[in-house]
Structures are given as structure tokens and as C-alpha cells.
Amino acid sequence: MNKPFFRECLTEHDQKVLESLFVPFEGVPPSTFDIDIESEIKDAPEVESHSVVESKKLELEGIQLAEQGLLDEAVVKFEEAIKISPSRCSVYNNKAQVLRLKGDDDGALKDLEKALELSSQQARTRCQALCQRGLLYRKMENLSAAKQDFEEASKLGSKFARNQLVEINPYSALCNQMLQAAFQKLQ
């Protein structure tokens, strides 16, 4: 079996999964790690005070700026949103995402800590923050801390976190190495 035939047998999704198993962080831009948390995980509704409404507006503007690649401007909007309503965990979580994209892992970890501190009633945001922090810990090769975060996020219902737990399992890693060797032989 040659390489082109093998590639034709796999869907694009399957090829990406295999690539992430074999080389989970090498050459992958940070935006690839965006975390899609399942829609059934819900946050408790926020009290719609004037400051919360204004903070949400600024947070949305920050998200839109980040989507346009204007990361510095997005951080400014998130900081304004935090200043207006410092107890909103989703703003810290979104700011951490942008800081992560900018390569500021220390700043991202700080904001994720704050998001987690404030997220007792916000299951969806807590789950996202745990997954983001778990990925950062994994990148830093702190697998013990990553595992703890992914376990908690998994208990909240995250399929992404469950997949990450499989990937960092030492037996899974050994299996991945054996699969990689087998695929290299096929090439």
C-alpha cells in the first residue's frame, strides 16, 4: 500500500486527527487549538445590571476584533470590560484566549486562574478555561496539571477534554508511537 492510496482512504478529518496524535503541537498555530465546548453545557444567567450589559458589549467588541486579527485592540476591549465588571469570568477567559494567540502564555495563565476563581456558577466558561489551561500546561509539558484540568472539564461534559486525556495517557502515547512507526513503513 503506498502513501497516496493510504491518504485517499482517510477523510480530511481523520488525517488531521492522525497528525494531531503524532505531532500534537509541532507547527500548529495556536488558533488551531480553539476549543468548541458542547452546547449542552450551560452557564447560569448573569444579573443584567448596567455594568454587566456594558461589559458584555465591550467583550463582544473584543471578540470581533480578535476574529479580525486585531489582537492588541481586542485585549484593550477585554481590559475595559473587566474594569467595568471585574467579576465576569467569561471576559477573563476570552482575554486569555487572545493572550494565548499572542504567545503570552504567562498572561493567559493568570487570566485563566481568575476565570476559574470566578466561575463557580458558570459551567461552560469554567469548562473552556479548564481546557485552555490544560492545553497550556500540556504545551509546557506539565502533564500532571494538564490531566487534572482535563479530568475536571471532562466531568463537566467536555468531549474535547476526554480526547485530551486519551492523548496524554502513557499507554495511548505508546500506541501512537507504534502506529506512527507502522505508517512510516507504509510510506
Alpha carbons 73 and 57: distance in angstroms, whole number: 15
- Has residue 41 got a pLDDT over 80? no
Alpha carbons 164 and 64: distance in angstroms, whole number: 28
- The mean per-residue pLDDT over the stretch 63-74 comes to 94
pLDDT of residue 116: 96
Would you place residue 98 in the very low, low, confident or very high pLDDT band (cuts 50, 70, 90)? very high
pLDDT of residue 170: 67
More confident residue, 109 or 37: 109
The pLDDT > 70 percentage for the chain reads 72
Using the structure block, give the residue that is written with the C-alpha cell 445590571.
Answer: 49
- Has residue 175 got a pLDDT over 70? no
Would you place residue 181 in the very low, low, confident or very high pLDDT band (cuts 50, 70, 90)? confident
- The mean per-residue pLDDT over the stretch 35-44 comes to 59
Q: Set out the domains of the chain in order of their start, with CATH numbers.
A: 50-186 (1.25.40.10)
Per-residue burial over 62-93, b = 16 or more CB atoms within 10 Å of its CB, e = otherwise: bbebbeeeebebbbebbebbbebbeebbbbbb
More confident residue, 62 or 122: 62
Would you place residue 9 in the very low, low, confident or very high pLDDT band (cuts 50, 70, 90)? low
pLDDT in tens, 130-160: 999 999 999 999 999 999 999 999 998 889 9
pLDDT in tens, 102-130: 999 999 999 999 999 998 888 889 999 99
Write down the mean pLDDT value for the chain: 80
